[in-house]
Amino acid sequence: MTGTGALVRLILRRDRVIMPLWGLILAVLPISQTTGIAKLYTTDQALRQFAAAFAGPALEALYGPVTHWNAAALGVWRAGFTPVLLGLASLLTVIRHTRVEEEAGRRELLGSTVLGRHAGLSAALIVTASANLVVALIIMVSFTKQGYPASGAIATGLGYAMVGMVFAAVGAVAAQLTESAGGARAIALSVLGGTYLLRMAGDSTGASGLSWLSPISWGQKLRPFAGEVWWPLALSLAVLVVLSSVAYVLAGRRDVAAGLLPPRLGPARAAPGFASPLALAWRLHRGALLGWSAGFILFGLVIGGAAKTAADAMAENRQLMEMMARLGGTTNVADVFIAGVLSIFGIGASGYAVQAALRMRTEETLMRAEPILAVAVSRAGWMASHLVFALLGPVVVLVVLGLAVGVAYGAGADDLAGQLPRVLGATLAQLPAVWSLAALAVALFGLLPRLVAGAWAALAVFLLFGQVGALLDLPQALLDLSPFSHLPKLPGGEVTASPLLALTAIAAALVAAGLYGFRRRDVG
């Protein structure tokens, strides 16, 4: 463990912007949802009706079961996807500061100094666990300051923190298995996705045994603000200890920069189809593109199936309809719900776009870009091969999302031919905003490569605006900073070409700036 403290300080310095940002955003979502629900439903009868209306299989698959009708319990339920995001941030943070460091060669360099073998893993777990506990503390304080019971606030905060820490340990185990960071992420994300599917299946079908297999549901089993049950914390703690111990044991049985799973060796000579930058880019991006597409298909089917149930619940509350109309922009209840959800998935598609754009920075820092550029490959051609996936990849992801939502909703409404093209068009209307964020990442890569994390920071801020801006009545001038606030509210809203063209032009200018900057600066 020698040197763990120094590495903790290094991680805190490197993540001094992005870690507080994602922690704060995820911490305020539960109280924001609670505040919004309390404003919209001011009587016990209204809250009971709201809880009863939303207690259906489709929405429980998304958020989990409704445990009580009070505003705090409903707010925590409505923020039910937040623990998934916390687990995602936690596992990615651990992998970033363990396997990525080894892949880049920095871990071996540090290991030549006075540094213990497990210092890197320990530092990553300590920082990530501390960040989750800070999130828990913010949640506790925010609820108690609003006058809600302390027991429910503690249950909410600890439930969220334990989910994050369990998946931090999942990331730690995955980091020991493969010699590539991409492989470690794939393993950890598969576990996260699989446990979420178990939670969905268990809560939507009544098969509670399935949901108990998912760490994501253990925080919900604490029943915050609904007669707290504390023993599931012991289950989370036990799994955390086991997974962390496994990670340390595995780390001690491998060499630095190696993985326990043997790498799959390719042929000695590449096939003719791989003799281009675009073919290499496809090889690098295909896993992420296929994974995001599969996830969007799944969620699209769930959202489409839940549209009618949500519409029936929303139609009885005028204030809720007005709030959702700010997201959805139409008076048709189902259209309001679909448009509001599509705006959130537009942010999700932006996450893929930013990830794909910043793959260039990963290749550069791992010193894999320079050998390619040393042969007859231009900088513009190399960047263009990655831009294909940063700009056209979101098209694929949004198309499959639109098809899934349109098919599920159209089939449920007995109007597949009419609803499918409407929903697909509404989904593709998110593209100019998605391209704007991808282009921002490209511009930062070309002009200010040390600040590429700013693209993730912008994405997090826009997510915050989209989730709680309407609920908290934030000034419109502030909300207008997000490109998503300038999109038409589809399906059902009016389409104006000028904001779409303006966003596309901004994206093109940012991409051009990134290309110009990369051609002018040094590689590495």
pLDDT exceeds cutoff 70 at 283: yes
**Averaged pLDDT, 233-261:** 92
**Sign of the torsion formed by the C-alpha atoms of 234, 236, 240 and 243:** positive
The closest of 256, 100, 257, 108 to 188, measured between CA atoms, is: 100
Per the model's pLDDT, the better-predicted residue between 380 and 334 turns out to be 380
- Give 417: exposed, middle or buried? Use CB within 10 Å, 0-12, 13-18, 19+: exposed
- Percent with pLDDT over 90 in the chain: 50
- Between 132 and 479, whose confidence is greater? 132
Q: Quote the CA–CA distance of 3 and 188 in Å, as a whole number.
A: 27
Query: Tokens 């429980």 label which residue?
Result: 60
The 10s digit of each residue's pLDDT in 489-499 is 888 778 889 99
Query: How does the average pLDDT of the chain come out, rounded?
Result: 88
Candidate from 181-185, 393-397, 512-516 with smallest mean pLDDT: 181-185
pLDDT average, residue stretch 483-493: 87
Tell me what pLDDT residue 315 has: 60
Helices (H), 67-180: 71-78, 82-96, 99-103, 106-111, 119-145, 150-177
Count of beta carbons in the 10 Å neighbourhood of residue 332: 14
pLDDT-derived band at 223 (thresholds 50, 70, 90) equals very high
Tell me the pLDDT band of 173, cut-offs 50, 70 and 90. Answer: very high
Assess whether pLDDT exceeds 90 at residue 108.
Answer: no
Token output for 447: 């002009």
| Model confidence pLDDT, tens digit, residues 179-222 | 888 889 889 988 998 898 888 888 877 777 888 999 999 999 99
What's the helix, strand, coil split of the chain in %, to 5? 75, 0, 25
- Nearest CA-CA partner of 487 in 388, 398, 404, 392: 398
Q: Is 477 helix (H, G, I), strand (E, B) or coil?
A: helix
Q: How many whole angstroms separate alpha carbon 130 and alpha carbon 146?
A: 25
Tell which residue, 516, 487, 480, 485, has the closest CA to residue 501.
Answer: 487
pLDDT band per the 50, 70, 90 thresholds, residue 376: confident
Average of per-residue pLDDT across 152-163: 96
**What SS3 state is found at 346?**
helix
Residue 98 Cα distances to 54, 256, 457, angstroms:
42, 10, 22
- Which tens digit of pLDDT belongs to each residue from 64-91? 888 898 999 999 998 888 999 999 999 9
d(CA 372, CA 362): 14
Residue 314 pLDDT level (bands cut at 50, 70, 90): low
Give Dmax (Cα) for the chain: 71
Res 320: pLDDT: 57
Per residue in 400-448, pLDDT tens?
999 999 998 888 888 888 889 999 999 999 999 999 999 999 999 999 9
Would you place residue 269 in the very low, low, confident or very high pLDDT band (cuts 50, 70, 90)? confident
**Cα separations in angstroms, 218 against 68, 337, 356, 447, 510:** 17, 28, 33, 44, 44
What's the pLDDT tens digit per position in 26-64?
998 899 889 888 887 888 888 887 787 777 676 777 788
Q: Is the pLDDT of residue 143 over 90?
A: yes
Sign of CA dihedral 390, 88, 73, 308: positive
**What's the CA gap between 167 and 29, in Å, rounded?**
20
Q: Backbone phi, then psi, for 260, in 5-degree steps? A: -75, -30
**Is residue 401 a contact partner of residue 427, using CB atoms and an 8 Å limit?**
yes
pTM: 0.84
DSSP state of 292: H
What CA–CA distance (Å, rounded) separates 71 from 37?
Answer: 6
User: In sequence order, what DSSP letters do the residues of 391-445 get, joined into one string?
Assistant: IIHHHHHHHHHHHHHHHHHHHHTT-HHHHHHHHHHHHHTTHHHHHHHHHHHHHHH
Q: Is the pLDDT of residue 331 over 80?
A: no
Best mean pLDDT range from 300-309, 388-397, 456-465: 388-397
CA distances (Å), 432 to each of 146, 189, 272, 325, 459, in order? 39, 28, 35, 21, 14
Q: Is the pLDDT of residue 327 over 80?
A: no
218-232, 333-347, 407-421, 483-497: range with lowest mean pLDDT: 333-347
Question: What is the average pLDDT across 495-521?
Answer: 94
Contacts of 273 (CB under 8 A, 6+ apart): 279
Q: What is the pLDDT of residue 321?
A: 59
- pLDDT of 137 reads 97
